[in-house]
Amino acid sequence: MSDIPPDETPSDLALVQASQGGDLEAFNQLVMIHQSAISSVLFRFSSQTADLEDLVQETFIRAWRGLGTWRPDKPFAHWLKRIAVRVGLEFFRKHKRSPMSCLASDGHDRLTALSVESLTPASDEAAQILSHLPPDQRSLLTLLQLEEMPLAEIAGHLGISLANAKIKAFRARRTLRKILTSHGYSTTF
Amino acid sequence: MDTPPPSKPSWPDLLRQARTESAPDLDVRAALRQQIRSESMTQSLAPAPSGLLDEVLALACGLRGISTFAALTLWVIGFGWVISDAVGEISLVLQLQNHLLAGL
């Protein structure tokens, strides 16, 4: 991945305008600037590299199609992150239970065995526990607890009010507590 | 003798550990470029969107439709008026004929 010297970096606005004119190279630069941040957010939705690649790609494709809807009075990164969260939420809706989920109904799980093979064992384990939540609650807690995103920002990305986000977070924590208890995890949060 | 299962971490510990794990270094530029190119190729193969001339023609067709309908309506009204006039004439003739026959 080549790096652009900081003082020669064109602004997001200039790159977006050039991209809107069909300049694929300008869009390429936008992707290069933002793909790391977008990968970090979407990594919370899937730590599996193949899925993560698809999610990041889908985010940028939607961004490319919707460049005209970005308003320059707000940061491009924020707009892009919003798309990424939507893509992540849709991913959760499609995969209501993680395909890797191994939490058995009898309370024992085979996660430990799997985690040895994984490069991101804690992320996998946390994601698999969260996968027992409904998609909306799962997205909210993923962003809140794994990404440590402020609730107001989450509300903005999910297109809900802050009050609504607080209620959803409360319900999600309550459901999570039950799941954790049933699987023998300590629930001190 | 069975070994006891490893104790599970607490949820906050698991979260703390998960937060330290970071996303792999991805570069989706090549795949994106390919996808965008194939999308724009598909768009260029798609039927062209209607131009101004098409819109004008469509409007003319619409107007022609409306004027045909108006002409048809006028013709029906006129024909109805003629028919009603003819029917009136016939009934008058019949009445006169009845009076004539009654007189005889």
Give the ipTM: 0.74
Interface contact flag, A186 B11, Cβ < 8 Å: yes
Cα–chain center distance at A138: 11
Cα–chain center distance at A64: 19
Cα–chain center distance at A84: 6
Check whether residue A113 and residue A61 sit in a common domain: no
Contacts of A123 in chain B (CB under 8 A): 18, 21
CATH code for the domain of A163:
1.10.10.10
Q: Domain tally for chain A?
A: 2
Q: State phi, psi for A103 to the nearest 5 degrees.
A: -70, 115
Check whether residue A62 and residue A132 sit in a common domain: no
Check whether residue A138 and residue A119 sit in a common domain: yes
pLDDT number for residue B39:
81
The whole domain housing A110 covers 103-189
Check whether residue A119 and residue A90 sit in a common domain: no
pLDDT mean for each 10 residues of chain A (189 residues) = 48 92 92 95 93 96 94 93 95 73 44 56 89 93 94 93 95 93 78
pLDDT number for residue B103:
79
pLDDT number for residue A9:
59
pLDDT number for residue B67:
79
In this model, does residue B11 exceed pLDDT 70? yes
Mapped onto helix, strand or coil, the DSSP state of residue A103 is strand
Check whether residue A128 and residue A185 sit in a common domain: yes
Interface contact flag, B26 A27, Cβ < 8 Å: no
Query: The pTM is what?
Result: 0.68
Check whether residue A76 and residue A141 sit in a common domain: no
Give, for A62, the enclosing helix (H) or strand (E): helix A49-65
Comparing C-alpha atoms, which of A50, A48, A146, A108 is closest to residue B4? Answer: A108
